[in-house]
Amino acid sequence: MAWARWLGLLLVLLPVVGASKPGIVVRLNKEVLSYVAEAGKVPLRQALQVPIPHFLDRSGQVIQPTRIQILNVHLPYLQLKFIAGFGIRLSAATNFTFKIFRVPEPLHLMLPVALLADTLVAQGSIGTPMVSISACYSLFNKAIVFDGYNSTATTLLAPLQKHIKAVLRNKLCLRISNLVQGLNVHLGTLTGLSPVGPESQVRYTMINAPNITKDYISFDINAVLFLLGKPIILPMDATPFVLPSHVGTSGAMATVGLSQDLFDSAILLLQKAGALNMDITGQLKLSNNPLNTSTLGQVIPEVARQFPEPRPLALKVQLDAIPVVTLHTNNATLRIQPFVEVLAPDSDSAFQSLFSLDVVVNLSLQLYVSEVRLQGTTSVLGNVQVTVASSNVGFIEMEQVQSLMGNVFQRPLLDHLNALLSIGVALPSVINLRYIAPEVFVYEGYIVVSGGLLYQR
Ligand SMILES: *[C@@H]1O[C@H](CO)[C@@H](O)[C@H](O)[C@H]1NC(C)=O
Ligand SMILES: *[C@@H]1O[C@H](CO)[C@@H](O)[C@H](O)[C@H]1NC(C)=O
Ligand SMILES: *[C@@H]1O[C@H](CO)[C@@H](O)[C@H](O)[C@H]1NC(C)=O
Ligand SMILES: *[C@@H]1O[C@H](CO)[C@@H](O)[C@H](O)[C@H]1NC(C)=O
Ligand SMILES: *[C@@H]1O[C@H](CO)[C@@H](O)[C@H](O)[C@H]1NC(C)=O
Ligand SMILES: *[C@@H]1O[C@H](CO)[C@@H](O)[C@H](O)[C@H]1NC(C)=O
């Protein structure tokens, strides 16, 4: 592609290494905890199915090793709650059902166990969220014998319960801790690279410890942009981005705020990479090319004189000026200033420049989220402003050329921009997690994506 050749030069020009600070805030509201609790029941029940060593029955003359098996872990209640300034508290009520392989007949026991675990949510060393269990308790109720009970069982019951409780007290919290630790591998995928445009990528990292209140946990995230695999600093003033509290859809699981800086950076990256530039030649066939020297010759006499035979025109569109994204309440616009060079093949079929135009176009920018990507589409807002930058064909009557030119490059340029914007920018996420029914809100200087979350393996 044409832009590729600029990249080598560009890497020399851009200050390399370090990180820009396009601010993003990801706020997970308490609604997400109900979802996690529901989704977490199955893995938690599985984790709690610990092996129980044989019980040594000393009630008879010889010590009888008795096998014990957990038949079922019932988990009627699991709740997660934010602990302000700390993390997440798990509380669960469980009923363990055991089968004691006692001869001649087995014994069935039910043991209600309450579990309490505090999870610290912190910032890991590589900018990923880190969770760890800081305190965990298992509280046992009295066991209930509901099958195989007879008087001899009573003497057995006390030591048997003691044995089971001792095992569970050690193992349950360990299992919960392992389960929680296992999440860290997943959370680590936050920092994976994802594409922004051709040859450019973004990586997200947490920049400080999360803010935790009783209602939400919020993460300040930094986007580092990469071009050809190298991190770049973008020349911009980075004031920290703060997400106001009552934005987005109330009751949504996730509220993600993306500062204007992120847009500016992504657009700048595309502009610097030359990805926004285009040649319109290839997209116009001579047979139905509405823009040819004979058409143009009707409004510019010098063109008619130089090209008595009709020849196709070529347009070279370059976006040297950085496009400007403006975010106002409910209104996102993109202003581009393409430089358009109009060329025609001379007798040697080398292209010569006829004239060039400075164009200003205001585009309205519609933003939407698909899966985990924020994408955009544009349409022209108001008039396209065209002025002559230079001419090799004498005086140009602007009014006539404007409508002619405007029509020809507008559609291909919009198609090109829309194709790029449809690649979009990945929102911060972790593997297998996507946004459900996300809504995009445009505010003064930032946008908000609100929606549910769905975890799917
Ligand atoms: C679990 O145990 C508690 C306490 O004995 C009891 O109230 C509850 O009904 C049990 N639940 C189930 C589903 O067995
Ligand atoms: C009670 O258990 C003992 C041994 O565990 C057994 O010999 C006896 O038959 C049982 N009694 C009843 C009524 O099930
Ligand atoms: C998190 O808390 C720090 C200090 O308590 C504050 O400066 C920062 O703005 C907060 N971030 C968010 C996203 O609320
Ligand atoms: C030049 O463009 C006009 C329409 O603008 C068209 O009618 C004509 O066929 C074109 N000529 C060629 C040679 O393509
Ligand atoms: C959005 O902003 C543009 C440019 O400032 C303006 O022309 C347009 O009327 C605005 N649209 C709305 C819906 O406010
Ligand atoms: C584009 O929008 C800006 C700001 O709203 C306005 O000043 C300018 O006149 C517009 N230009 C065109 C060509 O519509």
> Rounded distance, CA 359 to CA 74, Å?
69
Q: How many helices (DSSP H) and strands (DSSP E) are in the chain?
A: 7, 23
Which three-class secondary structure state does DSSP give residue 360? strand
User: 25: Cβ below 6 Å to ligand 3?
Assistant: yes
- Tens place of pLDDT for every residue, the chain, 457 residues? 344 344 433 433 343 333 345 689 999 999 999 999 999 999 999 999 999 999 988 877 888 899 999 999 999 999 999 999 999 999 999 999 999 998 778 889 999 999 999 999 999 988 899 999 999 999 999 998 876 666 566 778 889 999 999 999 999 999 999 999 999 998 988 888 888 877 888 899 998 999 999 999 999 998 888 888 888 765 555 577 889 988 999 899 999 999 988 888 888 888 888 888 888 764 455 555 667 888 888 889 999 999 888 888 888 999 888 899 999 999 999 999 999 999 988 777 788 999 999 999 999 999 999 888 999 999 999 888 889 999 999 988 888 788 777 777 788 889 999 998 998 888 998 888 889 999 999 999 999 999 999 988 7
How many other C-beta atoms lie within 10 A of the C-beta of residue 437? 11
Q: What confidence score (pLDDT) does residue 412 get? A: 84
Ligand with the closest atom to the CA of 93: 1
> Rounded distance, CA 387 to CA 58, Å?
101
Strands (E), 187-345: 194-197, 200-206, 211-212, 216-227, 230-231, 254-259, 278-279, 314-318, 324-328, 331-336, 339-345
- Ligand 6, pocket-test mutation among 324, 333, 334, 335, most atoms within 8 A of CB: 335
Contact (CB, 8 A) for 241 and 24? yes
Q: Supply the Cα-derived Rg of the chain in whole angstroms.
A: 33
CA 266 to ligand 6 centroid distance, Å: 22
CA 150 to ligand 2 centroid distance, Å: 6
Write the DSSP assignment of 121-187 as a string of letters.
EEE-TTSSEEEEEEEEEEEE---EEEES--HHHHHHHHHHHHHHHHHHHHHHHHHHHHHHHHHHHHH
Tell me the pLDDT tens digit for each residue of 107-155: 899 999 999 999 999 999 888 999 999 999 999 999 988 766 665 667 7
> Rounded distance, CA 135 to CA 176, Å?
11
Ligand with the closest atom to the CA of 298: 4
Which three-class secondary structure state does DSSP give residue 427? coil
User: 72: Cβ below 6 Å to ligand 1?
Assistant: no
Looking at ligand 3, which atom is closest to the CA of residue 211? 1
Q: Rounded to 10 degrees, what is the CA torsion of 278, 280, 281, 286?
A: 170
> Rounded distance, CA 325 to CA 29, Å?
29
CA 384 to ligand 6 centroid distance, Å: 9
Q: What confidence score (pLDDT) does residue 155 get? A: 77
- Residue 45 tokens read as 């029940």
Q: What confidence score (pLDDT) does residue 6 get? A: 41
Q: What confidence score (pLDDT) does residue 366 get? A: 96
CA 385 to ligand 2 centroid distance, Å: 98
Looking at ligand 1, which atom is closest to the CA of residue 112? 2
Contact (CB, 8 A) for 115 and 95? no
Contact (CB, 8 A) for 338 and 381? no
User: 26: Cβ below 6 Å to ligand 3?
Assistant: no
Q: What confidence score (pLDDT) does residue 9 get? A: 38
User: 76: Cβ below 6 Å to ligand 1?
Assistant: yes
